[in-house]
Chain A
Amino acid sequence: MEEIFAQTMAHLGLAGLGLGLAGSAIGLAIAGSAACGMRPEARNSGLAVSVLPGTQGLYSFAVGYLCLQPLEEGRYATVFACGLLTGLACLFSGWWQGRVCASGIQSINAERMTTAQAMLLAVFPEFYAILSLAFSALMLFG
C-alpha cells in the first residue's frame, strides 16, 4: 500500500512538470503576441527576445528525463520533489518572463530600449528556473 502511494506521488511529481511546459507556452504566447505588433524594421530585434521563455519547458523536459532512472530505482520522494519544484518554478518563471519580454519588445519597438537591455531584464525571472533545474539535477544525480 505504501509502495503504491509512493509511486503515485512520484508520478504526480512527474505530472507537475507539465506546469513547466505550460509556463513556456504561456510565456511564448505573451511575448510572441507582443512581437506580432512590432514595426517591420524592428521585428528582427524583437524575435530574439520573444523566444526566451521557451527554455523553461526544455528544463522541465530535461528534468523529466533525468527522473526516469530514479523512478526505476524507487527514489519516489526525490522524483516527486524534483517534479513539483521544477514544474512550479518553470510555470511562473516562464509566464512572467513572457510579460517582461513583451514589455521589452514594446520598448524596443518604441526605440526606448536596446535588444541587449531587454534580454538583460528577461534574464532575472529565468534565473530561478535555472536554480530549480540545478537543484533538481543535484538531487537526481546525488
Chain B
Amino acid sequence: MAIVEMTKVCLLGPSADRDAAVRAVADAGVLHVLERRPAPELPTELKAQRERVERMLAALPPGDEDGPWPGAEAAAGELRRVERLVAACDEARATLERLEREHARARPWGGVEPEALERLGEAGVTVAVFEGRRSQLPADILAGFDWASVVPRPGGRVQLWVVTRGEVTLPLDRMEPPVRSLGVLRDDVRRARRVLAECLSERDEAVAVRPVLVGYRRWLDDELALATTAEGLGEGQPIFVLEGYCPTEGLERLRALRAERSLVLTTRSPAPDEAVPIALRNGPLVRTFEPLVAAFKLPRHDEIDPTPLVAPFMGVFFALCLGDLGYGILLTALAAGVLLRARLSGLRTRPSGSVRLLLQWALLLGVVSIAVGALLGNLFGVRIHELLGLSPSALLFSLVEDPSRLLMVSLGLGLVQLHLGMGLRLWLDLRRRRYQAALGSLAWLMVVPTLVPWVMGWWPGWSFGLVCVALLGFAVPVPNPWRRLGGGAWALYDIVSLLGNVASYMRLFGLGLSSGIIAMVVNTIAAVLMGGPVGTVAAVLVLVVGHAFNFAMALIGAMVHPARLQLLEFFNTFFAGGGRAYAPLRRTCQGE
C-alpha cells in the first residue's frame, strides 16, 4: 500500500575516482548500498576518534545537543580541550581519594605527631595501636606492657594503646602509624576538595561544547560510513562497482551524478525474491504508527504495508482500554501541552525525533480516547449521562449499566480485524497468482461465518463441512499429498486457535471495564472521606493520587495489549514481514 517503490541500481566508474564518487553518492543521499560480505573493517583511526568522543560525551553532564557545527578541525580542538578538563578532574579525584584514605588511617592516632613516634622508636620505645573485638582481648592483657589502655569503640570493638620497650605482637589488627600529622592531612584533604570542585565546575561549564561533540560524532559516523563503503570497492581493478537500491523517484539524482562524474549507471526492477530495503510512506496521522510496525517487522517488498490498517484499530483499542473520557482529555492536554511548549520555546527545549513522534502519537490516541470515552459514558469515573440528565440508552454503551455491550463490541472488533486480515491474505494470494493457496485463504475466511450459524442452529452444517474439506485440501498447498493432508489436518485443529484469537479481544473489555470501575471506586472513597476541612483535603488527595495512579496503569495496559493484538493476532492472519529498513548512504552532518 504505502511501500516506496525501489529500483536496483549499479554504478560503475574508474577506480581512481572511487572516493570522490562515494562522497557524491552520499551527498545525493538516496542509494541504499548493498552490504558486502565479509564486511570491511572500520578505519582504525576514525574508530578510535569516535570512541574518544563517546567517552567525553559520557563524562560531560547532560545538556542541549543541538547547535551550530563549527567544522571537524575546530571540533577536534574542542574534543582535546574537554579531554584535558576531564583528565584534570580524574586526577583531582584520585588525589582526594588517596588523601582521604591516608586521613582515615591517621585518625585513630589522634594528635600524635609522626616525629614524636620516630624519636620514641629511636629510644627503643614502641607505641602501637591495635583494634579488634572485645572478646579477642586476653584477660591479663594490660599486665604485659609498660603502659596500656583499652578504649571502647562502637559495635563491641575496642582500641588497645600500648607503650612498651621492644616489639609487640598481638592477635589484633595493628593500626599503621601516621606518616603525616592529622592536622596537615586535614588541610590537604580540604585543599584537594577545593581543587576537585574547581575542576568539576570548569568541566560542567564545558557542557556548552556538547552540541559540537555531538556534531563531531555525526561527522565521524559519516566519514566511517563513507570509508567503509569505499573500502574494497574495485580493489586492484581498473573500475569500481557500487550496487544498491534507490527509490524510483530518486533516480534523477543518480542520473545527474552520472552526468557530472562520468559514471555508468544501470537500473532494473528488483526480482520478487530479492531482499529489497523497505521505506514506508504514509500520511501524517498514519506515520506516527510506523515505529510500532517497525518494532515488530517491516513488510517485505512483495507484501503490503500494514500501518494504515493498524492505525485505526490501534486508536480504537487504545481508547477502549483507557475507558474514560477524562483520561482521554488528560492525555491530549499533556501531549499537546508539551508539544506546544516545545514549539513556543524554540530550539532549546525541542524534544528529540523519537520523543516528538511519541508525543504526536499520544496526542492522536488521546483525541480518539476522547471520542470513544464519550461513548463509554465515563468522565473520571462519573457517569456522563447523570451529569447531562440523559438516560443511559442515549449513550452507545454505558460501562456501568450495560457492560455486556462492551464485551460484544470487543469481540465484534476482533472478528472484523481478523477477517480483514484473512481477506487481505486472500487478496495477496490472488495477486501473486497462487490460486490453490487462495482457496485455503478463502476457507479460513469462511470458518466463522459458517461455524457460528451452524452452532446457533440458523444454518445447516454442510457449509461448515465444505469449509473443513477446503481447509484439509488447500490450507498447505504443497505437491506432496501427505504433507498437504497433514497440513490440512493441522489447519482443522487450528480452528480452535482462530476462536482463541477472537476471544483474545476480550482483553479490551477486561481492561476498559477495570479502568472505568477503578475510577469510580476512587470517587466513592473520596465521597466517603468528604466532610470538614481535613476530610475535604483527604478526599482531594485521594482523587488526585487515585486517578493519577489509575491513569498511569491504564495507559501502560492500553499501550501494550492493543499493540499485542495488532502484532500477534492480526498480523498472524496475513503478514509475514522480515524486510530490512531502507538506510541510504547519506551525510547527517553538513560541512567539512
Interface residues of A (CB under 8 A from B): 48, 51-52, 54-55, 58-59, 61-62, 65-66, 115-116, 119-120, 123, 127, 130-131, 133-134, 137, 141
Contacts and interface: CB of A to CB of B under 8 A. Distances in A.
B511 A116 contact: no
B517 A62 contact: yes
A52 B15 CA distance: 56
Interface in B510-527: 510-511, 513-514, 517-518
A64 B325 CA distance: 23
Interface in B556-578: 556-557, 560-561, 563-564, 567-568
Contact of A130 (B296, B297, B503, B568): B503
Contacts of B556: 51, 54
Nearest to B512: A62
Nearest to B513: A62
A58 B556 CA distance: 13
A48 B557 CA distance: 10
Contacts of B370: none
A62 B503 CA distance: 16
A30 to B, nearest CB: 17
A133 B510 contact: yes
Contacts of B296: 115-116
DSSP class of B's interface residues: helix, strand, loop or mixed? helix
Interface string B472-516: 000000000000000000000000000010011011011101100
Given A127-B504, A130-B504, A137 B564 contact: no
A141 B406 CA distance: 12
16 contacts: A48-B560, A51-B560, A54-B553, A58-B514, A61-B518, A62-B510, A65-B514, A66-B403, A66-B513, A115-B295, A115-B296, A119-B564, A127-B504, A133-B509, A137-B509, A141-B404
Contacts of B403: 62, 65-66
Contacts, number: 69
A59 B510 contact: yes
A52 B559 CA distance: 11
Contacts of A141: 404, 407
A65 B504 contact: no
Contacts of A62: 403, 509-510, 513-514, 517
B513 A134 contact: no
B407 A137 contact: yes
B273 to A, nearest CB: 23
Nearest to A59: B510
Given A119-B564, A119-B567, A137-B407, A130 B507 contact: yes
Interface of B: 295-297, 403-404, 407, 500, 503-504, 506-507, 509-511, 513-514, 517-518, 553, 556-557, 560-561, 563-564, 567-568
B564 A123 contact: yes
Given A51-B556, A52-B560, A131-B503, A58 B568 contact: no
B319 to A, nearest CB: 17
Contacts of A133: 506, 509-510
Given A55-B507, A58-B514, A62-B509, 10 more contacts: A51-B557, A55-B510, A58-B510, A61-B514, A115-B295, A116-B297, A123-B564, A133-B506, A137-B506, A141-B407
Closest 8 CB pairs of A and B: A58-B514, A62-B513, A141-B404, A59-B510, A61-B514, A65-B517, A62-B510, A62-B514
A48 B292 CA distance: 12
A51 B509 CA distance: 18
Contacts of A119: 564, 567-568
A76 to B, nearest CB: 20
A59 B553 CA distance: 14
Among A54, A62, A130, A137, find the residue whose CB has the most chain B CB atoms closer than 10 A: A62
Contacts of A54: 553, 556-557
Nearest to B561: A55
A51 to B, nearest CB: 6
Among B510, B514, B517, B568, find the residue whose CB has the most chain A CB atoms closer than 10 A: B510
A116 B507 contact: no
A69 B407 CA distance: 17
Contacts of B513: 62, 65-66
A127 to B, nearest CB: 5
